Amino acid sequence: MLTLAAFEEACEAVKNVTMETKLVYSEYLSEQTQNKVYLKPENMQFTGAYKVRGAYYKISTLSSEEREKGLITASAGNHAQGVAYAAKCFGAGATIVMPTTTPLIKVNRTKSYGAEVVLYGDVYDEACAKAYELAKEHGYTFIHPFDDPAVATGQGTIAMEIVKELPLVDYILVPIGGGGLAAGVSTLAKMLNPKIKVIGVEPAGADCMKESFREGKVVTLPEVNTIADGTAVKTPGSNIFPYIKKNLDDIITVEDDELIVAFLDMVENHKMIVENSGLLTVAALKHLDVKDKKIVSILSGGNMDVITMSMVVQQGLIFRDRIFTVSVLLPDKPGELTRVADTIAKVQGNVVKLEHNQFVSTNRNAAVELKITMEAFGTEHKHQIIQALKKNGYKPKLVQAVL
């Protein structure tokens, strides 16, 4: 049961493995939404995510015999690191089953805490089935990443910290994968102050909890498709579903494209690396139809590999019209390339890449294709550059930007 006594016990326990993540006031997001927005940076935890809270508290409640059997879990990465680190603190062995799609940084960090990693399946649910199989085969003690009241209690300690630091908080936004964090945070928040609104946020391509809310029972999605790998769950937790149904006020879903833009906002305005699942609560701010409220967005984790980070930054720049590509046709004669470059330079466009295709037409004197990828300050500046090209006699066509 998620009781106040258990939450208080968990709050003391997790102090052994967590850093103090003070709320960060976001002037940028506050201005964007006309609210007072605070960030709860759980991406700054030693393991890179909040998951160590639930893992450590759960393991602390086990008997020495249960720990000595060895621990096992399934995770897309953050719970894996939480269990691996907590197991190490208790001197217990740990086996972690992770989907084959898990970012390399999460796999390597999990191994660095001394855990054995087994890669299996494309999504969490397949990895979880394998973990149960191994637990039965070897007698391991299974630590569920979300569908366990003790784990949810550990995660809920975040709510205690938020309310202590910001007693008059109006809204808490919490990411949802399987629902452990949402169950813990919403339940404790309502115990501390029933007036606090707790809103869950899911990726649109993995909205298992929203579908379950709609049906009034736990629903399994046929498939999930989202860049938010930490919340790519087909089936939410059945044990914690009643707590969420009772205490969560609403669920918002956001598209992957919104997460890409949110990543760019966090890097540029807060100098923070937040993984896609952790950005759900940032992207959701624009979906809240409220003003002049104190809102806390929980940034659940920051474990993102460099390759993914690079791709997200590039896509974010394209979505914000900071990078774009146009195609123009021009005669194949000396000076034409210089003339185009001069046109762009006069309106402060910065050329990133050029592709000069002389074989777009059999009549090279009539048409040679030039694809120009450029940097701009934003949408307005992009239109200025395009207008300058048109004014000088070119007919620029926007094409898919590829860096």
Residues marked active site are found at: 51, 300
Nearest to 126 by CA among 165, 88, 100: 100
For the chain, the C-alpha Rg in angstroms (whole number) is 25
Beta carbons within 10 angstroms of residue 22's beta carbon: 12
Find the helix packing angle between 4-14 and 157-165, rounded to 10°: 80
As a whole number of angstroms, the distance between CA 42 and CA 75 comes to 18
Matching residue, tokens 């021009």: 330
As a whole number of angstroms, the distance between CA 212 and CA 386 comes to 48
On whether the CB atoms of residues 256 and 232 are closer than 8 A, the answer is no
Q: What are phi and psi of 266, to 5 degrees?
A: -70, -40
As a whole number of angstroms, the distance between CA 26 and CA 174 comes to 17
As a whole number of angstroms, the distance between CA 379 and CA 144 comes to 46
Tokens read off for 248? 């969560």
Amino acid identity at 278: G
Tokens read off for 138? 């070897």
